[in-house]
Amino acid sequence: MCSRQIEQRKGELSQFIFECEIKRKGNKRLRESRISLLFVKSPLSRRDCATLAFSFFIPVVSLPQEEPSRIGDRSTSDVVVRLRTQEGRDDWFYCHSFILIEKSKYFGDRLSENWPTCQILDSRNCVEVYCEESDFDLHVNFLRLLYVVIDGSLEDIWHGVKNALGILRVAVELGCPQIVNACANYLEAMPWEEAEEDEILKIIPGMGSKAQPILARVQPVNQSAVLRIFLWVGASDKIVLVVEQASSVAEIIETKSKVIEVAAKVLEAIGYGNVILPTAKRFHMVKVWLPFVRVTKPLIDSATTNAKDAPELKIDSELWQSLESTFVSMEREMEVRRECLGEGQQA
């Protein structure tokens, strides 16, 4: 092939590669890619392809990745959220259903085919949310936060405790666990005023287990509860020994489940600092109860609750998650203390 023919073939092959990329874009599977000459089904002959391959490399056809979805982008939006108030305010926000469904239970229900009016007047393309005039801006901020990747480095997005409380209330109402967790972590680390504590106590019932760290700061100390925790700590070794020596019949499994429920509350109080114990005692509680929980959980999970000789065992997933987070928190504390002691000895 002469140089002129090579240039012509090069242009044909480049056009073919470009068309392949356009087809991939149409299927929404576009990525930055390099198409090797050896793997392209080219309309050219093998001899021509070989000549081109040994003569030069075909320039890479690279197309940019799709930009992330943004609230208010009408060109890509497939659903409108209408924020409305009794005073007549009615603002439209162009959103994306996959984001709303993924992050909010309320929007997930409203946009599902099971919603009663989903087939009426294209209601799946428009979701109305009614709110008080004083909460309007909070709902707007909530919608914007759905499009934000929230992590610990974005504390400035809350703009203070008062605003975080308002967004937390909206997130609880609209069922967004990601924002609820982020708000809870922020509030746990920030100082409050007395007026803000009253607002926290109103919101906490809808937060589930995530409310415990915050609740620990606003609840008054219960002297009798603290005394019972100290008694449980002192008797933990004997309790575990007695229960482990028993057989694994249904009644014993039920007893173990009750023991775990009480132990979870005790460990949670210790882990979150509601009750202050010496470091050695805290570490000892982990060593005693962690192996017991690891062995007992599979037994409870595998128990046949419908059998005649088996009791109803009702331990929800939140209790296991609470135990896990408590153990992780206390073990991290142990690691930090070991590191500090190691550095002190080296110094």
pLDDT band for position 129 (50/70/90)?
very high
pLDDT for the residue numbered 66: 58
- Across the range 181-207, mean pLDDT stands at 77
For 76-119, the pLDDT digits (tens) are 888 999 999 999 999 999 999 899 999 999 999 888 877 766 55
Q: Shortest CA distance to 32 belongs to which of 4, 58, 56, 65? A: 65
**Nearest CA-CA partner of 43 in 6, 15, 21, 23:** 15
Between 44 and 173, name the one with better pLDDT. Answer: 173
What does the alpha-carbon distance between residue 168 and residue 158 come to, in Å, rounded to a whole number? 10
Q: What pLDDT digit, counting tens, does each position of 273-299 carry? A: 677 778 788 888 888 888 888 888 887
pLDDT of 121 reads 52
Mean pLDDT (whole number) for 56-71: 56
Q: Are 164 and 186 in contact (CB under 8 A)?
A: yes
| pLDDT, greater one: 237 or 306 | 237
pLDDT of residue 81: 92
> What mean pLDDT do residues 44-55 have?
49
CATH architecture entry for 79-218: 2-Layer Sandwich (3.30)
Using the predicted structure, report yes or no on whether residue 30 has a pLDDT greater than 60: no
> Is the confidence at residue 236, as pLDDT, over 80?
yes
Read off the pLDDT band of 130 (50, 70, 90): very high
Cβ atoms of 286 and 331 within 8 Å: the answer is: yes
Residue with tokens 């890619």: 33
Q: Which of 50-54, 164-168, 191-195, 343-347 has the highest mean pLDDT?
A: 164-168
- The 10 Å CB-count burial string (b at 16+, else e) for 222-254 is eeeeeeebeebbeebeebbeebeeeeeebeebb
The per-residue pLDDT for 183 is 84
Give dist(CA 66, CA 249) in Å, integer.
58
Token output for 60: 């890479």
> What digits encode the pLDDT tens for the residues 103-113?
999 999 888 87
Mean pLDDT confidence for 70-79: 87
- Lowest-confidence segment of 21-35, 120-134, 242-256 by average pLDDT: 21-35
Section 321-340 average pLDDT: 76
0.75 exceeded by pTM:
no
Rounded distance, CA 281 to CA 42, Å? 72
Ordered alpha helix ranges (H), the chain:
3-26, 46-55, 97-103, 105-110, 136-145, 161-174, 177-189, 194-203, 212-218, 223-245, 250-271, 279-302, 317-346
Phi, psi of 126 (to 5 degrees): -150, 125
